[in-house]
């Protein structure tokens, strides 16, 4: 007879403890342990070995099956996945509440013509799904919809329908009868994902799972969940802005450097094919405190506008605020400005903003950041036809950046007249670009050239 016992599992890292702990000893997170009831089967004391199932073979005897990816109707989604959805793969899509995960999944289901799709929602009723589909102006589709939270019913309906793509919104609402814990717990999420993974691999069905995230921004549930799936996608953005970014944190069938950019509108998500024109303001009047940076995300180059505001500290203690840019890196650049260039900003407030609500981690934006800060400090505008690409080191040198030719080509395509690049970037033909390329090696050279 099976014995039941209670264990406590950390929702952050999956560590287990026989009693409740306020702080996890493995990941040092607070209040993450939840109670789980497990059954322990009694052992017969005999070890039975049966040779069954798959047999080991050599590489020469493995037959390669050319699986064609499922190309969805959203090109930005295809770009992030590496060309489309691989049949039999498991994709986990996470993001903040209200960011547009369900809208993206529904657009994905309605945009696939000629494919059999099963959309399962555990959060919305069928009437709510239809209202959302009518808002997307694409209510006519052969996609099948089901509102269900029981894992056993979902597997049974999927085996009967035999879809080519299965979408589940969301994995935290699905529960199985094998575990007595509530939906969304560590055990339920782990067991449900394991059963769905087994169904997907056995029937060669692609599955898209929508997952919730914690307040820290990581995917909710045990960490093993991200190891079980083939692809982890992060849908991020500021709800106060219209732009959304789809990133790939893990991809077994493609690169993790790609990203897709969308614009949230009243009729759904619209793809941004040329982000440079959307992220740069169309104001032709030169204003102090702004600089254009040539950045690269994945293999896509685009230009962004960096805005800075430097003012006297009103209460004696200077503030350092950053939106879309790493605050620690901003403090480092301010220290470089003071130590290497001689600009005293210790008694001034510095505010930095990446226009459009984007989050940029490219170090090549350093040069544009310090130029925008200095422009605001001395109140001298930078010509809006000038852009920058360069990483700033602690000694004040301009370090080389990757994909410099793509950055220069993007600036030339958008009509910029001059671009500042590191001197250490060599090996490219500057004559083939219709733009003035200025090579600099230190921050002092840039300041003397621009603000002379």
Binding site residue list for ATP: 95-102
Give the chain as a 3 state SS string: CCEEEEEEEECCCCCEECCCCCECCCCCCECCEEEEEEEECCCCCCCCCCCCCCCCCCHHHCCCCCCCCECCCCHHHHHHHCCCECCCCEEEEEECCCCCHHHHHHHHHHHCCCCCEEEEECCCCHHHHHHHHHHCCCCCCCCEEEECCEHHHHHHHHHHHCCCEEEEECHHHCECCCCCCCCCCHHHHHHHHHHHHHHHHHHCCEEEEEECECCCCCECCCCHHHHHCCEEEEEECCCCCCEEEEEEEEECCCCCCCEEEEEEECCEEEECCCHHHHHCCCCCCCCCCEEEEEEEECCEEEEEEEEEEEEECCCCCCCEEEECCCHHHHHHHHHHHHHHCCCCCCCEEEEEEECCCCCCCCHHHHHHHHHHHHHHHHCCCCCCCEEECCEECCCCEEECCCCHHHHHHHHHHCCCCEEEEECCCCCCCHHHCCCEEEEECEHHHHHHHHCC
Residue (of 63, 53, 67, 11) closest to 35 by Cα position: 11
Cβ(222)–Cβ(81) below 8 Å:
no
Q: Can you tell me the distance from the alpha carbon of 324 to that of 149, in angstroms, rounded to the nearest whole number?
A: 37
Q: Can you tell me the distance from the alpha carbon of 376 to that of 289, in angstroms, rounded to the nearest whole number?
A: 4
Strand partners, 231: 91, 251
Q: Which residues are annotated as a binding site?
A: 95-102
Q: Can you tell me the distance from the alpha carbon of 165 to that of 119, in angstroms, rounded to the nearest whole number?
A: 8
Q: Can you tell me the distance from the alpha carbon of 364 to that of 345, in angstroms, rounded to the nearest whole number?
A: 22
Calculated CA dihedral for residues 346, 347, 348, 351, nearest 10 degrees: 50
């Amino acid at each position: 007879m099976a014995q039941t016992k209670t264990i406590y599992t950390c929702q952050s890292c999956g560590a287990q403890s026989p009693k409740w702990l306020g702080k996890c000893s493995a990941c040092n997170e607070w209040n993450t342990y939840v109670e789980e009831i497990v059954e322990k089967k009694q052992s017969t004391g005999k070890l039975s070995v049966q040779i069954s199932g798959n047999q080991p073979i050599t590489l020469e005897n493995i037959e390669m099956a050319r699986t064609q990816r499922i190309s969805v109707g959203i090109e930005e989604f295809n770009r992030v996945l590496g060309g489309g959805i691989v049949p039999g793969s498991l994709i986990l899509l996470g993001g903040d509440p209200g960011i547009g995960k369900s809208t993206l999944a529904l657009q994905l289901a309605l945009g696939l013509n000629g494919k059999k799709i099963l959309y399962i929602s555990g959060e919305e009723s069928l009437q709510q799904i239809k209202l959302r589909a009518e808002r997307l102006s694409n209510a006519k589709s052969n996609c099948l919809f089901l509102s269900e939270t029981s894992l056993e019913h979902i597997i049974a309906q999927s085996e009967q329908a035999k879809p080519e793509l299965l979408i589940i919104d969301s994995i935290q609402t699905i529960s199985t009868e094998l575990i007595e814990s509530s939906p969304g717990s560590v055990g339920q999420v782990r067991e449900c994902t394991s059963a769905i993974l087994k169904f997907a691999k056995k029937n060669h069905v692609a599955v898209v799972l929508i997952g919730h995230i914690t307040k820290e921004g990581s995917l909710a549930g045990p960490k093993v969940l991200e190891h079980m799936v083939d692809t982890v996608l992060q849908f991020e953005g500021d709800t106060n802005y219209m732009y959304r970014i789809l990133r790939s944190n893990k991809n077994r069938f493609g690169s993790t450097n790609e990203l897709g950019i969308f614009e949230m509108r009243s009729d759904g998500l619209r793809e941004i094919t040329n982000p440079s024109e959307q992220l740069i303001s169309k104001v032709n009047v030169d204003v102090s405190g702004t600089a254009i940076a040539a950045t690269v995300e994945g293999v896509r180059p685009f230009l962004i506008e960096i805005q800075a505001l430097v003012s006297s500290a009103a209460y004696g203690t200077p503030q350092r605020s950053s939106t879309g840019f790493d605050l620690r890196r901003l403090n480092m650049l301010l220290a470089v400005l003071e130590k290497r260039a001689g600009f005293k900003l210790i008694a001034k407030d510095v505010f930095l903003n990446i226009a459009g609500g984007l989050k940029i981690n490219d170090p090549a934006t350093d040069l544009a950041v310090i130029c925008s800060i200095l422009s605001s400090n001395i109140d001298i505008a930078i010509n809006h036809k000038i852009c920058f690409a360069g990483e700033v080191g602690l000694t004040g040198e301009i370090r080389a950046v990757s994909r410099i030719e793509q950055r220069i080509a993007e600036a030339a395509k958008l009509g910029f007249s001059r671009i500042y690049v590191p001197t250490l970037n060599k090996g490219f033909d500057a004559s083939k670009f219709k733009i003035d390329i200025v090579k600099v090696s230190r921050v002092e050279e840039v300041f003397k050239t621009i603000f002379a």
